[in-house]
Amino acid sequence: MSSSSLLKIFFSRSAKGTYSHSFPGLWYRAVTISVNSFCTTLSSAVDETTEDTALERSKTMSKAMRAYLERAKAHDKFIAEQAVEYEIGMRHLANIMGEDPETFTTEDRDRSIAYLFPSGLFEPRARPLMKHPMELFPKRKAAEFDESGRPFHTLFYTGRPAYYQVLHDITGVIMELDHFSSRMSRLNVSKDQEKSLNLGGSEWISKSELETKIIEPVKDDDYAFFIKSMNRMVNHPYSYRAEDFIMTYRKEVKTGQATQEIPKLMYTSDGVPYMTAYGGRKTARANVTVYGHGSGKITINGEDILYFSHIQEREQVVFPLHFSGLLGHVDVVAEVEGGGTTGKAGAIRFALSLALRPFLDSEVVEKMRLAGLLTRDPRVRERKKPGQKGARAKFTWKKR
Amino acid sequence: MAMSVIRKFSLLRIGLRSEFLHLRCASGLPDVLTRSYSKYPPSYVEPLYTQKSQEEAVEVGALEELKFKPVKAAYVFQNNSVFHDPLVVKFSQHIMKAGQRSLARELMVQTFEQIKRIQIKKKIEAESPEEGEMIEANPLKIFNQAVENCRPVLHLVPVKRGGITYKVPVPLTEKRSYFVAIRWLKEAGREKFRTVHFPEKMAKELIDAANNEGRVVKKKQDLHRQCEANRAYAHYRWS
């Protein structure tokens, strides 16, 4: 290894997700900055590893085993080299920035890279970065068999031992629950109705999360089967006994009111409480201000509710007021632009619902959430596709 | 065979874009991965957009479950108004052509006005005041009664057995029966002379159907009669 490639900054994360085991300098795009060559001694420390004694022993080893060992060794060596380069690079970076290399942290590193290589790219992952090779290159499984080629795991020959181990665990737990339930019925003990599994506020981990959890690729059908099996366990009457196990495969969902922070009411110089909110639907955008102690006056772009000629739009604007019971008690001033009439009305409805929250009890706000008033309608017009008639519709096709 | 085709197609779609990959279990079929075209992830639930529906949910005890679930935004045709009727909204959406929602709604209003006019006239022209009292003049009630009277219970499904196609009577789901009733009523309302307006014809059809007479109710009865005639084939539904 030459000592010239010392400060290594990756200009994209193209290396991520690659499972290749040959490590020439070609498979990632890197910029090297030669600073000076005082680190020759450091980098040469990894150049020559000691003569391998394992290969001597390996005359009885299978070819596959030997190939694996070589690959693993090459990978470890590559990572070690990269780590040394990274350490040196960090010191150089600290020197370039005129800071103390001993106290140079990862935050300092990221800040320096952003300073030295300013990027206008929108996607953060596409910007220049410098990271420890352990973070940068995908984690690989440790050896799953010993030197004689004998696998550690009983399910090794299924090809996906970790996945099938999960299924095996699930079956084990279900059998345990069945056993417990039959024992209870033998003892004539009915189930304590108060004890039950409450899974509210959590959901199953996604396929990719399962994959990272067990460090193994999972097929779509296999994931579906995993979910089916877990649901079967949850539906067991004594499933609360396996709560710990179930919860390891669930994650928290952040919905409900806990995540929505309601801002405090503001007051005009006359002491009238008011609240402003912004909302949108389709391409329409609305800014709505709600004034307390009002008489129910509605102003939309300087006009009253007759700004909308159709009844449906008027209904939409009044919907949050009517639902929350504040119709006739507050004044509404809305400024709306963009989109069509339906979009405008929807934008006002959403912004108005948001602005009404501080005037209401948390119970009513939760009711409004359930009524679908506090959700931004994400549906927008889908673009037309080339080669077909519309977004989904195809041209009529005749064979001849 | 059908199964493998479905699987193939669904996998093909997954290959195109996997971000909206959801798990769905179609009835009668094993778990199949399909791509949902919805903008909302499958965890989102339909909104309970009226105070009444929320009170019902409280009574059933379904609110605890909904506490942590994200809710879809209420649709444009939904609101908490006292004049809101889901069946009327559904009907006007069936009437709608080329996305002209406001026109469809206007036609519904005119239909109800016609019903009211006809019924009030009947009331006035009734022979005795008692008879006049009996005549229902609420268009909403007449409309709901009409749709209820037109809902079929069974329909005929062609089943091929031994090279011969049999018409097998099969019960309809509730949702499907509403759909069929609305479709029949709508078709009856559109079958008219050019000079007659849709609301006029629709009003007549609805009043007839509410009184358990007229073409649509006859259509339903004919279908039921045919189902009765084909009862011998009913076993082809499962064998």
Q: pLDDT tens-digit profile of A371-388?
A: 999 999 999 999 999 999
B179 pLDDT above the threshold of 90: yes
Q: Which residue of A has its CA nearest to B84?
A: A315
- Domain range summary for chain B, segments of one domain joined by +: 2-66, 86-237
In a domain, A310, yes or no: yes
B62 pLDDT band, cuts 50/70/90, is confident
pLDDT of the residue at B23: 45
B3 pLDDT above the threshold of 50: no
Residue of A326, A370, A374 for testing the chain B interface, max B β-carbons within 10 Å: A370
pLDDT of the residue at B107: 95
Chain B residues whose CB is inside 8 A of the A254 CB are none
Choose from A13-17, A137-141, A147-151, B220-224 the range with maximum mean pLDDT: B220-224
A162 lies in the same domain as A104:
no
Residues of B with CB under 8 A from a CB of A: 11, 14, 21, 23, 31, 33, 37, 39-40, 43, 46-51, 54, 57, 63-74, 76-81, 101-102, 105
Q: What counts of helices (H) and strands (E) characterise chain B?
A: 10, 4
Per residue in A332-373, pLDDT (tens digit) is: 999 999 999 999 999 999 999 999 999 999 889 989 999 999
A125 pLDDT above the threshold of 80: yes
Least confident of A16-20, A344-348, B96-100: A16-20
A3 pLDDT above the threshold of 60: no
A24 lies in the same domain as A57:
yes
Chain B residues whose CB is inside 8 A of the A379 CB are 39
In a domain, A346, yes or no: yes
pLDDT of the residue at A260: 67
A243 lies in the same domain as A364:
no
Cβ <8 Å between B69 and A373: no
Report the domain count for chain A. 3
B71 pLDDT above the threshold of 60: yes
B68 vs A201, A312, A373: nearest CB: A201
pLDDT of the residue at A254: 67
Q: Which residue of B has its CA nearest to A364?
A: B51
In a domain, A30, yes or no: yes
Residue of B58, B65, B69 for testing the chain A interface, max A β-carbons within 10 Å: B69
Q: Which residue has the higher pLDDT, A252 or A301?
A: A301
A121 lies in the same domain as A173:
no
A28 pLDDT above the threshold of 80: no
A178 pLDDT above the threshold of 50: yes
Cβ <8 Å between A255 and B70: yes
Is A14 within 8 Å of A28 (Cβ atoms)? yes
Q: Which residue of A has its CA nearest to B15?
A: A220
pLDDT of the residue at A139: 74
Q: Which residue has the higher pLDDT, A25 or A194?
A: A194
A198 lies in the same domain as A280:
no
A370 vs B11, B66, B81: nearest CB: B66
A193 lies in the same domain as A83:
no
Cα of A352 to nearest chain B Cα, Å? 14
Cβ <8 Å between B54 and A312: no
Chain A residues whose CB is inside 8 A of the B74 CB are 319, 371-373
Global pTM reads: 0.66
A365 lies in the same domain as A275:
yes
Q: Which residue of B has its CA nearest to A258?
A: B68
A118 lies in the same domain as A25:
yes
Distance in angstroms (rounded) separating the CA atoms of residues A345 and A352: 10
In a domain, A386, yes or no: no
pLDDT of the residue at B33: 54
pLDDT of the residue at A181: 92
A289 lies in the same domain as A359:
yes
pLDDT of the residue at A24: 37
Decide which of A252, A285, A319 is a domain's last residue. Answer: A252
**Residues forming a β-bridge with B160:** B165
Chain B residues whose CB is inside 8 A of the A378 CB are 39-40, 73
Cα of B79 to nearest chain A Cα, Å? 6
Mean pLDDT of A39-50: 38
In a domain, A379, yes or no: no
Pairing of strands A331-337, A298-300: parallel
Choose from A46-60, A182-196, A271-285 the range with maximum mean pLDDT: A271-285
Distance in angstroms (rounded) separating the CA atoms of residues A398 and A253: 49
The interface pTM score, or ipTM, of the predicted complex is: 0.80
A172 pLDDT above the threshold of 90: yes
pLDDT of the residue at B35: 63
Is A75 within 8 Å of A116 (Cβ atoms)? no
Domain housing A326: 266-370
Cα of B58 to nearest chain A Cα, Å? 11
Distance in angstroms (rounded) separating the CA atoms of residues A112 and A125: 16
A36 lies in the same domain as A88:
yes
| Nearest alpha carbon to residue A225 among A282, A279, A166 | A166
In a domain, A147, yes or no: no
C-alpha distances out from residue A231 to A225, A234, A249, Å:
10, 5, 11
Per residue in B206-232, pLDDT (tens digit) is: 999 999 998 999 999 999 999 999 999
Structure tokens at B24: 């769905």
Q: Which residue of B has its CA nearest to A343?
A: B76
Residue B99, φ and ψ in degrees, nearest 5: 70, 15
pLDDT of the residue at A97: 93
Cα of A313 to nearest chain B Cα, Å? 8
A238 lies in the same domain as A282:
no
Q: Which residue of A has its CA nearest to B76?
A: A316
What's the full length of chain B, in residues?
Answer: 239
Q: Which residue of A has its CA nearest to B22?
A: A224
Cβ <8 Å between A371 and B80: yes
A54 pLDDT above the threshold of 80: no
CATH number at residue A333: 3.30.230.10
Distance in angstroms (rounded) separating the CA atoms of residues A308 and A320: 17
Phi-psi region for residue A339, left (φ > 0), alpha (ψ -120 to 50) or beta? left
pLDDT of the residue at A305: 93
Q: Which residue of A has its CA nearest to B74?
A: A372
B5 pLDDT above the threshold of 60: no
Chain A residues whose CB is inside 8 A of the B48 CB are 370-372
Q: What is the CATH number of domain B86-237?
A: 1.10.455.10
Least confident of A124-133, A317-326, B111-120, B149-158: A124-133
Is A268 within 8 Å of A274 (Cβ atoms)? yes
Residue A271: what residue type? G
Chain B residues whose CB is inside 8 A of the A372 CB are 46-49, 71-74, 78
How many beta-carbon pairs under 8 angstroms link A with B? 101
Structure tokens at A70: 């070589």
pLDDT of the residue at B8: 39
A204 lies in the same domain as A234:
yes
Chain A residues whose CB is inside 8 A of the B62 CB are none
First to last CA, chain A: 65
Chain B residues whose CB is inside 8 A of the A255 CB are 68-70
Cβ <8 Å between A312 and B49: no
